[in-house]
Amino acid sequence: MSTARNLQGTGASSGIAIGKAFVLPHWEWDVPENKKDVTDLAAEFERLYEGIRHSKQEITSIKQEISGYIGEQESNIFDAHLAILDDPVFMNEIQGIIQRQYKAAEVAVKEVIDKFVNMFDLLDDQYMKERALDIKDVGNRLLKHLIGTPDVKLPTDNKPFILVAKEVSPSQLVHLNPNHVLGIVTMAGGSTSHTAIMARALNIPLVLGLEGKLVEPIQTGDVLVIDGKAGIVLVNPPDAEIQRYSELRESEVRVLERLQSLATLPTVTTDGLRMSLFANIASLRDLEAALEGGAEGVGLFRTEFIYMDRETYPTEQEQYEIYCQAASLLEGKPLTIRTLDVGGDKQLEYANVPEEENPVLGFRSIRISLAQPHTFKTQLRAILRAGACGTVRVMFPMIQSVEQFRAAKRIFDEAKAELRAERQPYDEHMRVGMMVEVPAAAIVADLLASEVDFFSIGTNDLTQYILAADRLNEHVASLYDPFHPAVIRMIQTTVAAAQHAGIGVSVCGEMAGDPLALPIWLGLGVRELSMASGLMLPLKSELLKASAARSAAHWAELSKLKTSRDIREALERLGMGCGCAT
């Protein structure tokens, strides 16, 4: 057993875990010495193709296996793994080494994995660095089939443990039994990695980023306490610390039980102001979870995930059935459907989007839809038809000008005219809105407000674009600050324009679910917030203790502050009086 010590990593999936460590051996397949050179190239190519076939079958099987207990967005991670095996650059590199150098298939695969992983590791972009683990995961799976080496096995005695590893791939993670794995500690990785996303979906506490912080390695059998929110790992702590964290864990359970009891209560401030808390969803499974948490509607249906789990565009009927089912499940509560928002970090292989040096500012979102009007109209027809199933609204993403909104609205009106001529049931009076996530849209919000039925402020992209700071880039992540005065002012401008025009305005994105920001929305007069379903009940708890009048009275003072630090401190003071920042 190693010595007692406290370690600080990065919290990537919240929760407290207490248990014994199981250290996973570092899994990288070594190529046998007798597998260096070959003479029968045809046989090597056949071995390669057979390994690819087995790997694809295995990945597809994994995706089907996990689809029952994690969301669609998380299971789509394995589509990215399939895409790597279909990537012509990746495969051409392997084939080229076999053909030109007479190397065995596993040797060629190993060389290409190492080349791509090293290339990604050298990039400054943290998001791209984390994609190296996906390449390694896929490559190791292929090597396993070529070499015939079995998977690394976890303990089989069914005793719960905390998994410790240099890194854990998504493929390994999906085979972990959440009842046996209390938590995970990794040396490498980042909070935007696919492994971190999967851990959050499975509710497994995860602390990562301990590489370089261990003077002495963690050993199998060490007693660990991990805090997946604070990023703390205690190795062989004293009994008093174990007891303290045990009480904290029990307290978390009680808080969750208490929050669940709020799900059916009206969302009203102490002075009687009614707020609506809506959910952001990506699938029908997400919607079911949101309704359990008391969602009063859907403020953002991310339809791009319907497009990602396939090789061709979904048909009108396929989309209609999903949208109609969502509207029916809501039983009259509003369903706001955002049209296709791909490009940037969400690519469709079949969409023929060109590679770009800066895709976040490039050909994406509504720009793709307007350039592909037939595909756009297919989606709009499905949404309009779903309007006959419930209360449906449509919303265009990344609008930057009146001209752009009008262009999208023309195609929407054409879809209505077609359905009318075909005598298809649809919603003739469907409300049409737009996302405000581009600074240009916020600046001309007064002009756009006379054209649309509602605004939805996307705080994530709006903050990123206003501050010119990529929040996935570790070198500038500290500059990404939604409480920057420029962001607050741009939100204020947008809300004021909506209120002057008499149209609805909602806020979605991470800031909508942040209790610290609650006095901002109350002070501005925002009455609709949309967020991840897991944030709704904690925010509702604070809102039930808040005073809208108090927030409004302090808004003038708040809007004049010069730094984000001043704004945060003022919001914390406001929260102390209404519970908004606890």
Residues making up the binding site for Mg(2+): 437, 461
DSSP H helical segments within 154-230, as ranges? 170-174, 194-202
Distance of alpha carbon 576 from the chain centroid: 31
**Alpha-carbon distance 113 to 125, whole Å?**
19
Number of Cβ within a 10 Å radius of residue 489: 13
Catalytic status, residue 374: no
Catalytic status, residue 580: no
Residue 168: closest CA among 128, 224, 210, 120: 210
Tokens describing residue 576: 């102390």
Given 324, 389, 508, 580, which residue is catalytic?
508
Longest CA–CA span in the chain (Å) reads 82
Given 194, 324, 484, 554, which residue is catalytic?
194
Burial class, 385, CB count within 10 angstroms (exposed 0-12 / middle 13-18 / buried 19+): buried
Residue 352: closest CA among 371, 338, 339, 374: 371
Among left, alpha and beta (phi > 0; psi -120 to 50; other), residue 24 is: beta
Tokens describing residue 560: 């004049």
- Determine how β-strand 276-281 pairs with β-strand 298-302: parallel
Residue 303: closest CA among 367, 382, 199, 402: 382
Q: What per-residue string of b and e applies to 321-342 under the rule 16 or more CB within 10 Å gives b? A: bbbbebbebbeebbbbbbbbbb
Extract the annotated binding site: 302, 338, 437, 460-461, 471
Residue 87: closest CA among 118, 117, 52, 58: 52
**Alpha-carbon distance 130 to 579, whole Å?**
38
**Alpha-carbon distance 137 to 576, whole Å?**
47
| Catalytic center residues | 194, 508
